[in-house]
C-alpha cells in the first residue's frame, strides 16, 4: 500500500462547489506537483467538513487541521507553509464557534415569562432600564404602604415555594426568620447554581440583576435584616460583575444603603464568590463558606432561620425565588396563585439540555406536562430519534421514562416518581443513551463532590460507583442489582445533607425504570444502547463494503484487513472500539453490535 505523509480532504458538496471548491482542488493538486509533494500528500474529495457556510473547506490529516474560506490565490502560500514547512497557517483556520447566545430565544408557545421577562430586553448594566419596566416600584409600595407582616402574608398567599430545590414555602420561611429571636438578621441569596445543566440563575443574574436585588431588599424589610449576601459561584464571572455594577447603581439611587427611599429602613448587600465546590450550594455549607471556612454541611436543625450565618437568624433563598417577589407584590398574590397546580404555584424556569431540538432556557407555568415541555417548547428529540428518558433535578434527581411524559410537572409529582424538581435542570436523552452509563456518570459526579464529612455518602457513593463501573466494563455479577438497591436505600436514609440523601436517585430511578438494561449488561454482557465499549463489537457488513480501504487506513491499531475492492474484516481481538472506522466509512458498511 502506498504511504502518504498527509491527507488533504477538500469538501465538494454543492455549497463548497458554488464557492469554487473545484478550482481550489485543482490549484492544490498543481501546487503539490510543483513543490514535488504529490507523492507525499494525498488529495481526496469529501463532503460536509464544516458548517458549509464559509467554504471552500479543507481538512488536513493527521493533524486534523481545518481550513476554510480558501481561494485559489491562497493555495501556494498554504502549501509552502503547511505541507513544506509544517506550519499551521492560522489566518486560514476555520472560525471555531465561540460561546453564543443560543440560550434564550423568543418565547415559545406555552411559555409564560415572569422571572425571565426582562432578560435580553433591558440593559442589565443600566438601572434606568429596569426602572422603566416598573423596577423598584414594588419596593416603593412595600416601604410606603405595607407592614412587614402584610408583605409576609402576601408572599404566603401567593403560594410561592423555594426555587432552589426543596420547595419550602417562601412566605413561611420569612415568617420563621422574622419571629426568631436574635439580632442582627441576615438575608442570603443562593446563587451557587452547581447542578450540571442548570443555568437559569446565571441568566437572571446576568440579564436582570435588579429583580434579584429588589426581591432581597423586600425580604430584608419583611424579616428585619440589615445586611445581605449574594453567594455566587466563581464559574460565573460575568454574573458577579453585573451584580456588583447593579449594587452600586442601586446604592446611588437610594434603593440600598442607609435610610432607603427615606423610609428609615437600612439594608446593604455584598457579593461573595464561591471557589468551586458543589456542596456549597447546600445552605449550611454555603454559610460556612461565607464565614471563611471549609464548605461542609452541618446537621439541621437548628435551621438557618433560627441559627444561620454567625449563628444569627438567616433567610436563605434561591435567585429565582427572589426574582419572583417584586412581581408578586405588584400584581398581587392571587395573580401568582392563578398559575400552576393545587400545591405548586407560579412559573418555573428550566434549562433544557441534551438530545432535544431547542436546548436552552424556558419558563413555563407549573403543572405543564413533560411532553409539552419536551415536544412543544423544546421542539422534540434531535434528529427525530425516539425519546428515552428525561433527567430532572440535577445530580440528585432521577431519570423518568416515556410513561411519565404526561405527568404534570410539580414538586409532589416529581418526588413521587422518584425524581425531584431541583433547581430546574432537565436533560433529555434519546434512544442512543445507555442508562447504566448515565447512572455511573452521575455517581462519578456526586462521589467526586461529596465533602467527605459523613461515611454513608463518602464510602457508599464510592461503592456504588465501583459496581457501576464494573457493570459497564462487562464484569457485572449476579447480585449486583440487589447490592445497589440496598446501598441506595442506606445512603438515602443515613446521610447528613441533601447531597448524600439525593445521591442515589439517578441509580435508584434507572434501576426502577430501566432494569432490563442493567440485566442485559450483567447477565447477557450486552449494552442495548451500544455505548459501553467493553460490551460492543464493530463489524463490517460484507455486502455493503466496497473495499475502498478507508477504514483500514484510518484504524489506529491496524485491526482491519482486506485488499482493495475486497470485503474488509475487523479483528475483534485487536480492535479497541474507537469507532473511527464507522465514522470514516462513506458507505455505512461498519456497524456496532
Partner 1 sequence: MDVRDAPDVLSVVQTAVTRHGTSREALIPILSEVNQALGYLPTAALTEIHRLLKVPGSQIFSVASFYRMLSTKPRGEHVIQFCESAPCHVVGGREVWQALQDALHLNPGETSADGKWTLLTTSCLGICGVGPVVVIDNDVYGNVEPEQIPEILARYA
Ligand X SMILES: Cc1cc2nc3c(=O)[nH]c(=O)nc-3n(C[C@H](O)[C@H](O)[C@H](O)COP(=O)(O)O)c2cc1C
Residues at the contact surface with ligand X, assessed by CB under 6 A? 162-166, 168, 190, 192-194, 279, 281-283, 316-318, 321, 423, 497-499
The grid coordinates of residue 411 equal 414538586
Site for ligand SF4 in 476-515 (CB under 6 A): 495-497, 499-500
Choose, by CB under 6 A, the member of 279, 414, 434, 468 that binds ligand SF4: 279
User: Least distance to ligand SF4 from the beta carbon of 504, Å?
Assistant: 11
Give the rounded distance of the alpha carbon of 557 from its chain centre: 35
Residue 585 in contact with ligand FES, rule: CB under 6 A:
yes
CA distances in angstroms from 32 to 21, 444, 491, listed in the order given: 16, 50, 65
- CB-based contacts of 553: which residues, under 8 Å, 6+ apart? 1
Instruction: State the DSSP H helix or E strand holding residue 66, giving kind and residue range, or none if neither.
Output: strand 65-67
Parallel, antiparallel or unpaired: strands 268-273 and 227-232:
parallel
Cα 211 from Cα 321, distance rounded (Å):
10
Residue 318 contact among partner 1, ligand X, ligand SF4, none, beta carbon within 5 to 8 Å by kind:
ligand X
Report the 10 Å Cβ neighbour count for 35.
Answer: 15
Cα 190 from Cα 187, distance rounded (Å):
10
The grid coordinates of residue 254 equal 437610594
Choose, by CB under 8 A, the member of 85, 90, 91, 593 that binds partner 1: 90
User: Least distance to ligand SF4 from the beta carbon of 159, Å?
Assistant: 30
Residue 165 contact among ligand X, partner 1, ligand SF4, none, beta carbon within 5 to 8 Å by kind:
ligand X
Residue 240 in contact with ligand SF4, rule: CB under 6 A:
no
Residue 394 in contact with ligand FES, rule: CB under 6 A:
no
Cα 216 from Cα 212, distance rounded (Å):
6
- CB-based contacts of 450: which residues, under 8 Å, 6+ apart? 279, 457, 458, 461, 499, 500, 503
Site for ligand FES in 160-219 (CB under 6 A): 196-197
Q: Taking a C-beta distance cutoff of 8 angstroms, is the pair 427, 255 a contact?
A: no
Residue 537-576 contact track with ligand SF4, rule CB under 6 A, x = bound: -x----------------x-x-xx---------x----xx
Q: Pick from 471, 457, 464: which is nearest to 485 by CA?
A: 464
Residue 276 contact among ligand X, partner 1, ligand FES, none, beta carbon within 5 to 8 Å by kind:
partner 1
Residue whose C-alpha cell is 417584586: 326
User: Least distance to ligand FES from the beta carbon of 277, Å?
Assistant: 17
Stretch near partner 1 under the rule CB under 8 A, chosen from 173-181, 406-414, 421-429, 486-494: 421-429
User: Least distance to partner 1 from the beta carbon of 341, Å?
Assistant: 27
Cα 154 from Cα 17, distance rounded (Å):
65
Residue whose C-alpha cell is 503547511: 82
Residue 281 contact among ligand X, ligand SF4, partner 1, none, beta carbon within 5 to 8 Å by kind:
ligand X
User: Least distance to ligand X from the beta carbon of 436, Å?
Assistant: 24
Length of the chain: 593
Using CB under 8 A, list all residues that contact partner 1: 59, 63-66, 88, 90, 93-94, 96-100, 102-103, 193-199, 202, 234-236, 272-278, 289-295, 351, 353-355, 359-361, 391, 395, 425, 427, 429, 433, 438, 441-442, 445, 449, 451, 578
Amino acid at each position: 500500500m502506498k504511504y502518504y505523509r498527509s491527507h488533504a480532504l477538500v469538501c465538494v458538496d454543492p455549497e463548497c462547489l458554488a464557492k469554487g471548491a473545484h478550482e481550489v482542488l485543482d490549484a492544490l493538486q498543481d501546487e503539490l506537483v510543483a513543490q514535488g509533494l504529490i507523492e507525499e500528500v494525498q488529495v481526496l474529495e469529501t463532503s460536509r467538513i464544516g458548517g458549509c457556510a464559509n467554504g471552500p473547506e479543507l481538512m488536513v490529516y493527521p493533524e486534523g487541521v481545518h481550513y476554510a474560506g480558501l481561494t485559489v490565490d491562497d493555495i501556494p502560500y498554504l502549501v509552502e507553509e503547511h505541507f513544506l514547512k509544517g506550519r499551521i497557517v492560522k489566518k486560514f483556520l476555520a472560525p471555531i464557534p465561540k460561546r453564543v447566545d443560543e440560550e434564550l430565544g423568543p418565547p415559545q408557545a406555552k411559555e409564560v415569562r415572569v422571572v425571565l421577562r426582562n432578560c435580553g430586553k433591558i440593559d442589565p448594566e443600566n438601572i434606568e432600564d429596569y426602572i422603566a419596566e416598573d423596577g423598584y416600584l414594588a419596593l416603593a409600595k412595600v416601604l410606603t404602604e405595607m407592614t412587614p407582616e402584610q408583605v409576609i402574608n402576601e408572599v404566603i398567599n401567593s403560594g410561592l415555594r423555594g426555587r432552589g430545590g426543596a420547595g419550602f414555602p417562601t412566605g413561611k420561611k420569612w415568617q420563621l426568620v422574622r419571629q426568631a429571636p436574635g439580632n442582627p438578621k441576615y438575608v442570603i441569596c443562593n446563587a451557587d447554581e452547581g447542578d450540571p445543566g442548570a443555568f437559569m440563575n446565571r441568566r437572571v443574574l446576568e440579564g436582570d440583576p435588579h429583580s434579584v436585588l429588589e426581591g432581597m431588599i423586600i425580604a430584608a424589610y419583611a424579616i428585619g435584616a440589615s445586611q445581605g449576601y449574594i453567594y455566587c459561584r466563581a464559574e460565573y464571572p460575568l454574573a458577579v460583575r453585573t451584580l456588583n455594577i447593579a449594587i452600586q447603581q442601586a446604592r446611588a439611587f437610594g434603593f440600598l444603603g442607609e435610610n432607603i427611599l427615606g423610609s428609615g429602613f437600612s439594608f446593604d448587600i455584598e457579593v461573595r464568590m464561591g471557589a468551586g465546590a458543589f456542596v456549597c450550594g447546600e445552605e449550611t455549607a454555603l454559610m460556612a463558606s461565607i464565614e471563611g471556612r471549609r464548605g461542609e454541611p452541618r446537621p439541621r436543625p437548628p435551621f438557618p432561620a433560627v441559627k444561620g450565618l454567625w449563628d444569627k437568624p438567616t433567610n436563605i433563598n434561591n435567585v429565582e425565588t427572589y426574582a419572583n417577589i417584586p412581581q408578586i407584590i405588584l400584581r398581587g398574590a392571587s395573580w401568582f396563585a392563578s398559575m400552576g397546580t393545587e400545591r405548586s404555584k407560579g412559573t418555573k424556569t428550566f434549562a433544557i439540555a441534551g438530545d432535544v431540538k431547542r436546548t436552552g432556557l424556558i419558563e413555563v407555568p407549573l403543572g405543564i406536562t413533560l411532553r409539552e415541555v419536551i415536544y412543544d417548547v423544546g421542539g422534540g428529540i434531535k434528529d427525530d430519534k425516539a425519546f428515552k428518558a428525561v433527567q430532572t433535578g440535577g445530580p440528585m434527581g432521577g431519570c423518568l421514562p416515556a410513561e411519565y411524559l404526561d405527568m404534570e410537572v410539580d414538586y409532589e409529582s416529581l418526588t413521587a416518581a422518584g425524581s425531584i424538581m431541583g433547581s430546574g435542570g432537565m436533560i433529555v436523552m434519546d434512544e442512543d443513551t445507555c442508562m447504566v452509563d448515565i447512572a455511573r456518570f452521575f455517581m462519578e459526579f456526586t462521589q467526586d463532590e461529596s465533602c467527605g464529612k459523613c461515611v454513608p455518602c463518602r464510602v457508599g457513593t464510592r461503592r456504588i460507583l465501583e459496581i457501576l463501573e464494573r457493570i459497564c466494563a462487562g464484569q457485572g455479577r449476579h447480585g449486583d442489582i440487589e447490592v445497589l438497591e440496598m446501598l441506595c436505600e442506606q445512603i438515602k436514609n443515613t446521610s447528613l445533607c441533601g447531597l448524600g440523601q439525593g445521591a442515589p436517585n439517578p441509580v435508584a430511578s434507572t434501576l426502577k425504570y430501566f432494569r432490563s438494561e442493567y440485566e442485559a449488561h450483567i447477565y447477557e454482557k450486552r449494552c442495548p444502547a451500544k455505548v459501553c465499549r467493553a460490551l460492543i463489537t464493530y463489524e463490517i457488513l460484507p455486502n455493503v463494503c466496497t473495499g475502498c480501504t478507508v477504514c483500514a487506513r484510518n484504524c489506529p491499531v491496524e485491526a482491519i484487513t482486506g485488499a482493495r475492492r475486497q470485503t474488509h474484516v475487523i479483528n475483534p481481538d485487536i480492535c479497541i472500539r474507537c469507532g473511527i472506522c464507522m465514522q470514516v466509512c462513506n458507505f455505512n458498511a461498519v456497524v456496532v453490535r
